[in-house]
Structure 1
Amino acid sequence: MLMKIIPSALNAIGWFLIIILLGVTGQAEGAEQLAYAWRRGARYGLSLATMGHREEVLYEGPQRLSTPRWFPRGDAVIFARDVDGQWQLFRLALADRSLRQMTTLKGGADEPRVSPDGRQVAYRTYIDGVGPTLFVMDAEGDQQRPMTTPPMTAAPGEWLPGTTVYAFLSEFGGIAQVWLFDAETGRVKRLTGGAQLKSGIMPSPDGQTLAVHKVLIDVGTGKERRWAAARPGVVEELATWNPAGTAMVCVSNRDKKSYEIYRMNPDGTGEQNLTRHPAFDSFPAWSPEGSLIAFTSGRRGHGQYEIYTMDPNGDHVRQVTHGLFFQFARPVWRPPTSEPLVGTEAPRKPVR
């Protein structure tokens, strides 16, 4: 009798373990991920964090790095790295960790932005007699060219979702205004013509509205309106939309005590302090599903900054990174993708 029971019990246990393993694997493969740059002493690197699992080093070396930007498929990132005192752009493929230098410009290159279709990369460079200006190239690093002819002083912007149009700020003509560049036609036009605007363009998910500092701009008409919550003398920046376009978060010092992350309606009403902490909180970023907000905070003290996540209402704050030590590390969520997720298998040796 005992000999009959034991095989049956082992068989049941085996199936139970298989079910558990499948459940864990499925959870890992469906987990959201974010990339970020870090600094530890004289070492710099890029890592990938999988929510609920662990961090994985993608790249590590002695050169300074910038915030990575994802390609739309989530299979590669592009970032700026120090090369002999100049920023240059590099592309890192996640599948095999291959690293390829994309630019070798005399004026350097930084602030890359990949177009929604993944075919174009806009970036900033410096030209003698002009200053900071914008260039564009294809995804392989070819056909590098000025975004405007002649090149004009401009600040980095963002691509409008689902389009080939890049919105940026330029003081061409004496005052900072929003301009639109169409990568498909090569045409450039000025969108706004009102008061001086400050940097920080963030398009809405439908591409119809631009948040520029404390101003909302209609992309179709160029009409401007100020946030209802905007206050003179108060810093309100780094605004970002939730995926549904129904709410925004921004960084503000409106309480005059510290920099906090506030949530509000797109028109600036209904403001709510999400972080409620005396430490420096910044760089908020909504997850692709809108279920989490990642941000950087110094709440551990002693000059140590880490990346955290919280629910959209500010609850359930969770520490994501450990040993980041970098105040200006901006979390960047991986786009939704059908590609296999990394970070759920044995770590590979990082590229150096």
Structure 2
Amino acid sequence: MQVYLTIPIFLLVLVVAGCSNAITYIRNHNIGYYFCDRNRFLTSAALNDALDWSPDGRWLAYTRRSASSPRNSLFVRNKQTRADRELVHHLYGNVHFNFDWSPDNNTIVFEHDVCQTCNANISRVDMDSGDIRLMTPLSTNDMQPDWAPAGDRIAFVSVNDTTGLDIFWMNSNATTRSRLTSTVDNDSHPVWSPDSSRIAFIRTQVGSPRQVSIATIARSERAGAIVTLVSGFDVISYLSWSPDGSKLLFHGRETGMSRHAVYTVNSDASNLTRLSSVNNGIYRDVEDMFPSWSPDGSQIAFSRAARFTRSDGVEYSGQSMLFKMDADGSNKVRVGDLEFIHTIAWRPRDMLCF
């Protein structure tokens, strides 16, 4: 008697092909992604400057401008159908590079200016209806919104002529607004922890010397409850939490250093670690920037600009390349071409390799 084993086709594909997360990036103002050991492009002859995946990985939001206008519109692309849809036209207001998805994937909160002489403001757009709602008063200057994973609050930066840049939060329907920081220093780029209990932000001292640090504050507390995690930097940018909330990732330039590098620090301010070096293997004068966590926190994608000599003797100087590495800085692998790479984001969900 013969026994036949039936294997569902989807399991066969998993065994043969495997799964992978796509690393999406901007290359020379076009959107590309690295997936299954290949680089592909989603746009061509476009002028894109920012992108962000929806939490469920079904939609990619990005800004686009035309050659005839310096003002950005906000688009979304459906991952399955590859259809693009304009959500916010630039005539409504120039969309800046700072926008974020609601945890339920239904809304995008974004920074824009309603007119060329207006301050920055924050609005939200509904994915289904396309309805746009202004969330901050036109009389204020508000920017850099970040939606809490719990969905109930949005952190943002408000600019005041007297106090400079401070961190605020508002509830998701904009009926409540509260200040979290109030100092002579400039606080910017708030990022919620995965459990929505704390907000990390970048603090830049006013005056000389201009020192930059990373701090956190509890979601409902005022100045005085701030914990400084990192100090002694001239530049810090691209701040993000690890998926489990135990670390923060950023690129920066330490005081006395000439080039940017990628760093991690524990959320309790311990173990500041530089993950890149000035010279690394065949690469010289290394400058690593734009780091992004993989969805499971095991890897980091980043952009590397460096000088190196190819095997045929051709010398390259300063080109940016897409790299990835393990979260501890080991196993650095180049996965992209020699082009200007920035604004890197991993797709939240696995896709099948065929």
Taking structure 2 as the reference length, what is the TM-score of the superposition?
0.80
CA distance in 2, matches of 1:250, 1:104: 32
Cα separation, 2, equivalents of 1:168 and 1:191:
10
Matched, 1:219 2:219: yes
Within 5 Å, give how 1:68-147 maps onto structure 2.
68-83=51-66, 84-85=68-69, 86-106=71-91, 107-111=93-97, 112-128=99-115, 129-140=117-128, 142-147=130-135
Identify the structure with the greater strand proportion. Answer: 2
Greater CA drift, 184-193 or 67-76:
184-193
Contact (CA 8 Å) 1:295, 1:330: kept in 2 or not?
no
The letter of the residue matching 1:121 is I
1:280 alignment partner in structure 2: 287
- Say if 2:135 and 2:173, in contact at 8 Å, map to a contact too: no
Higher helix share: 1
User: Which ranges of structure 2 fall in alignment gaps of 5 or more residues?
Assistant: 203-213, 279-284, 308-315
**Partner SS state of residue 177, structure 1:** strand
1:269 paired to 2:270: yes
- Counterpart in the other structure of 1:5: none
1:306 has 2:292 as partner = no
Normalised by the size of structure 1, how large is the TM-score? 0.81
User: Is residue 312 of structure 2 the alignment partner of residue 320 of structure 1?
Assistant: no
Q: Which of 326, 331, 343 is residue 330 of structure 1 equivalent to?
A: 343
Q: Find the partner of 2:20 among 12, 18, 31.
A: 31
In 1, the alpha carbon distance for the partners of 2:332 and 2:301 equals 9
* Cα offset, 1:271, TM superposition: 1.3
Alpha carbons 2:151, 2:172 under 8 Å: kept: no
Between structure 1 and structure 2, the one with the greater Rg is: 1
CA distance in 2 between counterparts of 1:304 and 1:110 reads 26
Question: Runs of 4+ in structure 1 displaced over 6 angstroms?
Answer: none
CA–CA distance in structure 1, aligned partners of residues 162 and 130 of structure 2? 32
1:295 aligns with 2:302: yes
Q: Percent same amino acid at aligned positions?
A: 21
Counterparts of 1:156-175 in structure 2, within 5 Å, are: 156-172=144-160, 174-175=162-163
- Partners of 1:177 and 1:283 in 2: CA distance: 24
Tell whether the 8 Å contact from 1:227 to 1:267 is kept in structure 2 after alignment: no
Q: How big is each residue's C-alpha offset from its partner over 1:13-37, in whole Å with a ceiling of 9 and x where there is no partner? A: xx9xxx9975232x2xx21222112
The 3 A distance-change label for structure 1 pair 24 and 259 is: same
Instruction: Report the Cα offset of residue 114 of structure 1.
Output: 1.1
Q: Please point out which of 14, 39, 48 is paired with 1:55.
A: 39
SS of 1:298's equivalent?
strand
How far apart, CA to CA, are the structure 2 residues paired with 1:135 and 1:156? 11
What is the CA-CA distance between 1:267 and the residue it aligns to?
3.4
Q: 1:229 corresponds to which letter in structure 2?
A: V
Partner of 2:207: none
SS of aligned partner of 2:15: helix
Where do residues 224-243 of structure 1 align in structure 2 (5 Å cutoff)? 224-231=225-232, 234-243=234-243
Between the aligned partners of 1:20 and 1:113, the Cα distance in structure 2 is: 37
Q: Is the 1:134–1:154 contact (alpha carbons within 8 Å) kept by the matching residues of 2?
A: yes
Asked if the contact 2:229/2:265 (under 8 Å) is kept, the reply is no
Q: 1:148-193: CA deviations, max 9, x gaps?
A: 1345212213111121321110014732211212224643222333
8 Å Cα contact 1:147/1:181 also seen in 2: no
SS in 2 for 1:152: coil
**Correspondence 1:201 to 2:190:** yes
- Counterpart residue identity of residue 219, structure 1: R
AA at the equivalent of 1:95? Q
Alpha-carbon distance, 1:143 to partner: 2.1
Amino acid at match of 1:90: F
* Counterpart Cα distance in 2 of 1:126 and 1:244: 35
